[in-house]
Amino acid sequence: MFPRTVLKSGAAIMAATALLVVPALSAESIIVQSTTSTQNSGLYKHLLPIFKKMTGIQANVVAVGTGQAIKNARNCDGDVLLVHAKPAEEKFVKDGYGVKRSDLMYNDFIIVGPPADPAKVGSMKEAPAALKKIAGANAIFASRGDNSGTHKKEVRLWKASGVDPKAASGKWYRETGSGMGATLNAGVGMGAYVLTDRATWISYKNKGDFKIQVEGDDDLFNQYGVILVNPAKCPKVKKAAGQKFIDWLLGKEGQKAIADYKLGGKQLFFPNAGKGQS
């Protein structure tokens, strides 16, 4: 038989443990369906601890391509949507799945490629013209091919170029069906041109001798938006907590936190809340 003092000590330890565990279990959390670039760039590792410290709310990110993130949100598998394909975001709201879309931040897309630059597009500014030269040279181009925000942008640029790359699928046009990091890995491995967002490129570790070949076109602008999933469509949405996260991102403190995130002295995202909503 255990001594009474031991039993009392054990009870005290259990009670103390319970006090430690209960707050962790009761902490509020939300699910953010997000594009991969914000995750791969390290932005969330910077932002989310600040938000949690201020509010006690844990934001859990599901990082997939924009198309898949929107699909997940339509299936009510999330509270907040944060992606970068404005026409698709506006349709998401128009179809009743989102409450309101707000501009959050921006950066830009770039075309990177091998230093030999087989299509001779280096220093070109007009992205569609550069893509047309890449196609004309039968130079290898690695596409995500995954309906992500980056892929959607690429499709629009190819359309503007007057070239249908699908006709060369499996030849000079290689579709990876993968995220940005994996597509960059494949592109570097086969000496291919790749369209990527600048934030992912800055944070990407396996650049090899690849360099930015095309940048600066207004058509390469990359806008991110944030949307609360509509509780009228998805009753289990954590409306109050999700809206608090959105309000923080769009507010002075969240916008400053976004601007403050840098790698190697380079700012990856530029806040522009209040510029547009739908």
Distance in angstroms (rounded) separating the CA atoms of residues 94 and 57: 29
- What are 201-217's pLDDT values in tens digits? 999 999 999 999 999 99
Asked, colleague to colleague, whether 7-107+223-271 and 108-220 share their fold, the answer is yes
78: left (phi over 0), alpha (psi -120 to 50) or beta: left
CATH of domain 7-107+223-271: 3.40.190.10
State how far the alpha carbon of 176 is from the alpha carbons of 39, 85, 151, 164, in Å: 20, 20, 11, 17
Which distant-in-sequence residues (6+ apart) come within 8 Å of 170 by Cβ? Answer: none
Count CB-CB contacts under 10 A for residue 239: 17
DSSP 8-state class, residue 153: H
**pTM of the complete model:** 0.86
Please give the mean pLDDT across all residues of the chain. 91
* Contact status, residue 196 vs residue 214, Cβ threshold 8 Å: no
* Lowest-pLDDT range of 6-15, 28-37, 48-57, 264-273: 6-15
Q: Residue 14 in 3-state DSSP?
A: helix
Distance in angstroms (rounded) separating the CA atoms of residues 156 and 202: 24
- What are 114-127's pLDDT values in tens digits? 999 999 999 899 99
Confidence of residue 16 (pLDDT cuts 50, 70, 90): very low
Closest alpha carbon to 126 in 222, 221, 198, 219: 219
Residues 155, 160, 166, 169, CA torsion sign: negative
For 214, the token pair is 């095309």
Q: Where are the alpha helices (DSSP H) in the chain?
A: 4-26, 36-40, 43-55, 66-74, 86-94, 127-136, 149-161, 180-190, 198-203, 239-250, 252-260
pLDDT of residue 2 exceeding 60, the answer is no
Confidence of residue 59 (pLDDT cuts 50, 70, 90): very high
Locate the domains of the chain by residue range.
Answer: 7-107+223-271, 108-220
Q: Look at residue 201 in the predicted model and tell me its pLDDT.
A: 95
Q: Look at residue 23 in the predicted model and tell me its pLDDT.
A: 41
3.40.50.970, 3.40.190.10, 1.10.260.30, 3.40.718.10: which CATH number matches 108-220?
3.40.190.10
Distance in angstroms (rounded) separating the CA atoms of residues 207 and 188: 7
Q: Residue 55 in 3-state DSSP?
A: helix
